[in-house]
Amino acid sequence: MARTNVELDDRVVKEAIKLTHLQTKKAVVNYALEELVKKLRRKRMLELEG
């Protein structure tokens, strides 16, 4: 795993932590990236089938 420094919108991070019940910013960012990848893979598969 690589270490990366990013500036995050604290309001959005706090809401994401509340909604996901995850306890750390790192967990929220990893979760968000995983969900984004899943969503884009599904979209791509649907486009290829279409």
Give me the pLDDT at residue 50, please. Answer: 73
Q: Which of 30, 37, 38 is nearest to 13 (CA)?
A: 30
Q: What is the pLDDT of residues 1-50, one digit of tens each?
A: 899 999 999 999 999 999 999 999 999 999 999 999 999 999 999 999 87
Q: What is the DSSP string of the chain?
A: ---------HHHHHHHHHHH---SHHHHHHHHHHHHHHHHHHHHHHHHH-
- Domain map (residue ranges) of the chain: 25-50
Question: What is the pTM for the complete model shown?
Answer: 0.84
